[in-house]
Structure 1
Amino acid sequence: MEDSKRISEPINFVHQDEIWKAHVKAEKHLAEEWPNKWGFLTEVYKEYERESVKLNSTVRVEVPHHPSTRPATPPESYIHVGTSPPFPQTTQALIGWRSGHTRLQLEKYGAVHHGRRSFLKELGWPLDGCY
């Protein structure tokens, strides 16, 4: 939708060209000024690089050899899948047919009981205190 608005507006090519020239001029100026403002960083980086090469060549730390990790436990040892109940013969019984069996329910650890408290009751305020 914004593109349709953009097409209807006239484009000023001269103005866009002036903006482009200003960007190029600013970038050229900043490229000339960079060594004066930030040139010290190149010297610091070269010094850091020389020191790191020197340290890497002189200091060699032996990494202790650790025994290999134990093999992964196969899922069959801790995941046990039982047999399913017989498939229902009617389409009406198809809806929720697995949830009727206690061993196949999704809630293994019982129903969830939280969020039953009232903030107003905890403070001892009347229930009609808030609208």
Structure 2
Amino acid sequence: MAESQRTSEPVNVVHQDEIWKSHVKVEKDSAEVWPNKWGFLTEVYKEYQKDSVKLKQEVRVDLPHHLAVCPQTPADKHIHVGASPPVPQTTQALIGWRSAHSHLQLEKYAPVHHGRRSFLKELGWPFDSCN
């Protein structure tokens, strides 16, 4: 909050440029040194890729029919969206206007009823055991 009220201070453009030059120089030097220090990793990775391709070809097994992946069916076959009723004219009627129609409700099959259960009752413990 204090920084938002602070007046803009003069920026030393030359200093900012020197900082940027030093960052670029460090990046360039690091790029030149990297193959000597860590270049062996590229060869190891290429060997790993070749080995993994060989293993995948050797291990390839045809799945039984009951475990095979079925092709994906388009959602249009299962989901049918009908026309919406007209939007209410007042803002008061706007809240919950779609849920008033039974064919537009989110619960498609039936409302979800979760019974009230007690963890203590399921274990057969007395209710005052957890205070």
TM-score (norm 1): 0.49
Decide which structure has the larger Cα Rg and report it. Answer: 1
TM-score (norm 2): 0.49
